[in-house]
Amino acid sequence: MKKITLLMAWFALAAFAQEQEIAAQEQEIAVYVTGDIGVNEKKVLGSKMLSSFVKSGKYKAIEKQDEFLIAALDSNAQANDLAKQFGASAICAVNVMPVFGSYQVSARITNVETAEVIAMSDVDSPLKTIDDLNEVSNKVAVAMFGVPNVQVTLPQPEVQVAPEVQVAQPQPVLQDSVKVKKDNGSGFYFRLSGSYAFGAGEASGSSDLGLPGSSTKSSRNIEYREVFGDVRTDINEGKTTTKNEPFSLGEGIKIGLGLGYMFNRNIGFEVHGGYFFSSVEAIKNSNNSKNKRYTNNTSSNTRHETNDIDQSSSSSEIYTLSRTGIILTPAFRFVAPINDVFSLYSLVGVSIPISDEVIYEYEEHASNKYRREQNVTTGTNLNTPQISTITNRTTTTTNTWSNSDEYKKEEYTSFFELGYSASLGLNIALGSVVSLFVEGNITTASFQVEEKTMKEWTEKTRNQDNNNTNTNFLANMSDDAKVTKYEKEKTTNVNSTSTNNKQLSFSLPASSIGASAGLMFKF
């Protein structure tokens, strides 16, 4: 009776061991290799390691093991997530570390659901030949499960472990496979960037701003001659060139700082602040005129008079717009990794002007010159020079000139106007913390005028006697006249006695298309 009971117990224990073996064979495993060896060596070592595990009878490979081996993975945590997606119930993280001219291969098998460590082993090898890779994979399998291809047939609840099993301290890289939340790509980052933008959505001039819609360059040359009253030649040459001069306040330089947080390796949120500066010479006009006249008249036989007259004038106008401001851009960040080094990303958000102002400057330079040389000759029979007698000759020269310079400066502030911003860029990892990025961006925005303040308005004149006259028009203006308020809606009350200077608001284009480059720091 005891023999029958013992025999039945032996069969039950054997059946239990066989069921455990079958259950183990049904578990699918994925192998992930990291460390300081080449990409091809990682793939081969991973394949060899997987083959040894399958031969041990403990596991079988996942269907997408090849895809898993060539996947671009930044951490053991990402490998753990990808293995779970591919249907693996366990993952073997293999780390190869150079030590004193050789390599230490550390392997650890964990449950992808519970992060429980199932088995681990360390093996040293020079890793110089394909035989070294075979030897390493076999040693790891033997250390973890015993000799490959040997099935467990004895009714023992515990599997015997080969003598060379080493209980090693957890390696830092392998510990990351347990701490999934720490290295899943989430965390804060900081960006420093510089960019230049070209104006988009340009407009030509603004009558409210006092800015013409086109530039003009004109010149004129008039020459008139009359010799002794019988020969006359007129030369009148001149041309005027006018061209359209569109402008946009979006053109300029921006220096920015950004702080963001990645929820995972693909999605994040960023707040970017930038100081913007632009200077646009919107319109430049010039006008040059030159008159020259020679008159030679003989009024009688006793008097002859000659007049040479040169007269010229020139003027130029320059209209300049300068915009400065701090622009805040909150945006969602979407990342598409290409491999361990390169990744594409996009930013989609809004553009919020924190402070935004435009300085409008007008300069006019004008000069006039007049020169006359008069020759008077008196005598006898001046119509017959060969027998004439000159009694007197007088030469008189007259020179006059004047210069004037006018300068006007006005400051415009804007209503709060939201814009939209989008960027597409490439991130290049320079290390685990620092990366370089380049991106193209587009911003749609407008500058809607809220208030104008007159800052300067002067005129300086000077003549040939060095008499200078300086006029400050601003000093004679009242405080109300210096400030103009602009409203989006204007209602006029005929019974109102208010003297406030209010006008209907207008918008200036401030959209742009530009490029940025900078550095990104993870922490």
Which of the two residues, 138 and 519, has the higher pLDDT score? 519
Check: CB of residue 26 under 8 Å from CB of residue 164: no
Q: Count Cβ atoms within 10 A of the Cβ of residue 122 and give its class: 0-12 exposed, 13-18 middle, 19 or more buried.
A: buried
DSSP state, 151? -
Cα 81-85-91 angle, rounded to 5 deg: 60
Mean pLDDT of the chain: 81
pLDDT value of position 396: 87
Please name every residue paired with 323 in a beta bridge, in sequence order, or none if there are none: 278, 358
Check: CB of residue 112 under 8 Å from CB of residue 50: no
Please name every residue paired with 50 in a beta bridge, in sequence order, or none if there are none: none
The CA distance from 274 to 254, in Å, is 6
Looking at the chain, the whole-number percentage of residues with pLDDT higher than 90 is 30
- pLDDT band at residue 12 under the 50/70/90 scheme: very low
Q: Among the residues of 214-373, which ranges form H helices?
A: none
**How many residues appear in the chain?**
523
Q: Count Cβ atoms within 10 A of the Cβ of residue 328 and give its class: 0-12 exposed, 13-18 middle, 19 or more buried.
A: middle
pTM, full prediction: 0.58
- Average pLDDT rounded to a whole number, residues 229-241: 72
- Tracing tokens 């080094």 back to the chain, one arrives at 341
pLDDT value of position 117: 85
- Average pLDDT rounded to a whole number, residues 409-428: 94
State yes or no: pLDDT of 355 exceeds 70: yes
Rank 1-5, 119-123, 454-458 by mean pLDDT and report only the highest. Answer: 454-458
State yes or no: pLDDT of 512 exceeds 60: yes
Pairing between β-strand 483-487 and β-strand 502-504 as defined by DSSP bridges: parallel
State yes or no: pLDDT of 282 exceeds 90: no
pLDDT value of position 72: 64
Joined tokens for residue 303: 């008097």
Joined tokens for residue 407: 């300068």
Joined tokens for residue 475: 């000093």
The CA distance from 167 to 122, in Å, is 8
**Side chain identity at residue 417, one-letter code:** E
Please name every residue paired with 516 in a beta bridge, in sequence order, or none if there are none: 195, 439
Q: Among the residues of 122-247, which ranges form H helices?
A: 130-145, 172-175
Check: CB of residue 75 under 8 Å from CB of residue 186: no
Looking at the chain, the whole-number percentage of residues with pLDDT higher than 70 is 81
State yes or no: pLDDT of 427 exceeds 70: yes
- pLDDT band at residue 161 under the 50/70/90 scheme: very low
pLDDT value of position 156: 45
**Side chain identity at residue 21, one-letter code:** E
Determine the 3-state secondary structure of 218 from DSSP. Answer: strand
Q: How many CB atoms lie within 10 A of CB 397?
A: 10
The CA distance from 96 to 125, in Å, is 10
- pLDDT band at residue 454 under the 50/70/90 scheme: very high
- Average pLDDT rounded to a whole number, residues 260-274: 95
State yes or no: pLDDT of 340 exceeds 80: yes
The CA distance from 287 to 279, in Å, is 24
Check: CB of residue 283 under 8 Å from CB of residue 211: yes
The CA distance from 75 to 97, in Å, is 16
- pLDDT band at residue 332 under the 50/70/90 scheme: very high
Least confident residue range of 75-89, 174-188, 220-234, 303-317: 174-188
Joined tokens for residue 503: 């006008």
Q: What φ, ψ does residue 362 adopt, rounded to 5°? A: -130, 130
- Average pLDDT rounded to a whole number, residues 280-296: 78
Q: How many CB atoms lie within 10 A of CB 112?
A: 24
Check: CB of residue 342 under 8 Å from CB of residue 405: no
DSSP state, 203? B
HEC readout, 68-97: HHCCCCCCHHHHHHHHHHCCCCEEEEEEEE
- pLDDT band at residue 175 under the 50/70/90 scheme: very low
- pLDDT band at residue 229 under the 50/70/90 scheme: low
Check: CB of residue 409 under 8 Å from CB of residue 474: no
- Average pLDDT rounded to a whole number, residues 250-262: 94
